[in-house]
Amino acid sequence: MVSTVSAKSSSAPERDPQNMQAAASSLRYLPKETSVETLETSPNQSLMPLNAAVNDQDHLSVGGCDVVNLVEQFGSPLYILDEQTLRTACRQYKQAFEQYYPGESLIVYASKAWNCLAVCAIALQEGIAIDVVSGGELQTAVAAGATGEMLYFHGNNKSLEELELGFAADARIVVDNWHELKSLNQLTIAAGKTATILLRLTPGIECHTHEYIQTGHIDSKFGFDPDQLEEVFAYLSKDGSGLNCIGLHAHIGSQIFELQPHHDLPAVMVRWFKVAERYGLPIKEIDIGGGLGIRYTESDDPPSIDEWAKTVCESLAAACKATDLPLPKILCEPGRSLIGSACVTAYTVGSQKTVPGIRTYVAVDGGMSDNPRPITYQSVYRVLAASQMSAPLSETVTLAGKHCESGDVVIHAASLPPLSAGDIVVVPATGAYNYSMASNYNRVPRPAAVLVADGKADLILRRETYADLVRQDCLPDALKPF
């Protein structure tokens, strides 16, 4: 069961909740002609894009576009990205930091959530910098226009080639370990130039999230441990002539609903900031990472963007005041909470199988290759029938993927109306780590993606073809057929 945001004031009649695929009782579906005020709704708290609606054909529409028509035009599976929801999230982050932090601030999009030209370009248009974690993500961000202070380069094992790319783009390089620190220093000295860097530290703060996406506790592959930092500071002050260290960075994890860990983090950062001052380092930025969760199911209750920003901004300001530290520039790196709720994935229903007394499988034309999160993280999603939005949810089925893997299940217990081959279903909240983690398992081409706004759909990622899948293959002469 899924819902959209309700208008602040509207004369549109509410539909019978018993016959609607609606989620929380406080939310309802809106006809497409209703004007929806989205600025007061935190996108990460919505299961659907902010302007999703039910149109006169009883179809789901997103961005004023009929999802069934989009599938007819662009095929399925299909990622459908709502531009308004993404821009609203960007603006809410910027406005909240401007409101709650008395110093300078910068929002940096953690583009590993979904790195492509269109998404990076939208973020940059909104004044959001881009955070990348590989040479490929960096090249994409640069092609979209990111450079200098609008480009931050992360990663725990950057190659020399990647460091050179980041250096050439004048990116702020977030140094993760000794190997990288010394390699970059040698590279910059040889070039006769200076690289601007931040140091990533492990703050020792744990939070309740999946163990694979906890990054702030001590037992983590990321960052310098606290007992290494003074040695690092000493190296930079004496031997790091090719490095200009302007900041400290920490990140405690992902998909976090608790505010307390984020309240605690700035004070830890400030303590190390004061230590760095003793070594004469020109540190002026504190990057507190991201991690704010989004709503994937009705039971999820993440803080709003505003609440999260207020917590970290006020905590940092208080920690600085308590230690007589001039306010540094504060950075944060939202990824999932910027884009997760802005996208839905449309599938076409195919075969069905009923195991009497156990379950009914309904198969779709995608699965773990376009959304690996259920099989990787045991993530739970919701689904709705995009072509019959008011139909009663009379069946509980297992929505299965098409891949040759028993674990390829999109949703284990999906409440849906009776479906037939050719029906369109939609899984919401698929903007983060879906396309970016997509694969060609079973040699399935990756889906297309469209950007929707004001009733218009633009292709932002072409659907892969079978020719694309074999383009990189090489066949030795001895193996070629006669």
Q: Are 280 and 237 in contact (CB under 8 A)?
A: yes
| Residue 218: Cβ within 10 Å count | 13
Reading the block at residue 226, the tokens are 């606290």
Contacts 24+ apart (CB under 8 A), 229-233: 229/199, 229/201, 229/272, 229/275, 230/275, 230/279, 232/178, 232/181, 232/199, 233/275, 233/276, 233/278, 233/279, 233/281
**Could you tell me the maximum CA-CA distance found in the chain, to the nearest angstrom?**
79
Q: CA dist 309 to 97, 111, 245, 329, Å?
A: 6, 19, 25, 14
Report residue 82 CA to chain centroid gap: 14
Asked if residue 200 belongs to a known ligand binding site, the reply is no
Burial class (CB in 10 A: 0-12, 13-18, 19+), 38: buried
Q: Are 339 and 296 in contact (CB under 8 A)?
A: no
Residue 192: CA count within 13 A, CB half-sphere: 0
What is the distance between the alpha carbons of residues 93 and 90, in angstroms, rounded to a whole number? 5
3-state secondary structure of 106: strand
Would you call 332 a catalytic residue per the annotation?
no
- Both ends of the chain: CA-CA distance in Å? 56
Reading the block at residue 139, the tokens are 């090249």
Residues β-bridged to residue 172: 152
Asked if residue 336 belongs to a known ligand binding site, the reply is yes
What is the distance between the alpha carbons of residues 350 and 20, in angstroms, rounded to a whole number? 23
Burial class (CB in 10 A: 0-12, 13-18, 19+), 470: exposed
Asked if residue 433 belongs to a known ligand binding site, the reply is yes
Asked if residue 373 belongs to a known ligand binding site, the reply is yes
Asked if residue 333 belongs to a known ligand binding site, the reply is yes
Catalytic-labelled residue, pool 120, 245, 404, 474: 404
Asked if residue 335 belongs to a known ligand binding site, the reply is yes
Residue among 165, 39, 36 nearest 90 (CA)? 39
Reading the block at residue 141, the tokens are 């961000």
Burial class (CB in 10 A: 0-12, 13-18, 19+), 58: middle
Asked if residue 136 belongs to a known ligand binding site, the reply is no
Residues belonging to the binding site for substrate are: 336, 373, 377, 405, 433
Catalytic positions: 404
Residues belonging to the binding site are: 291, 333-336, 373, 377, 405, 433
Residues belonging to the binding site for pyridoxal 5'-phosphate are: 291, 333-336, 433
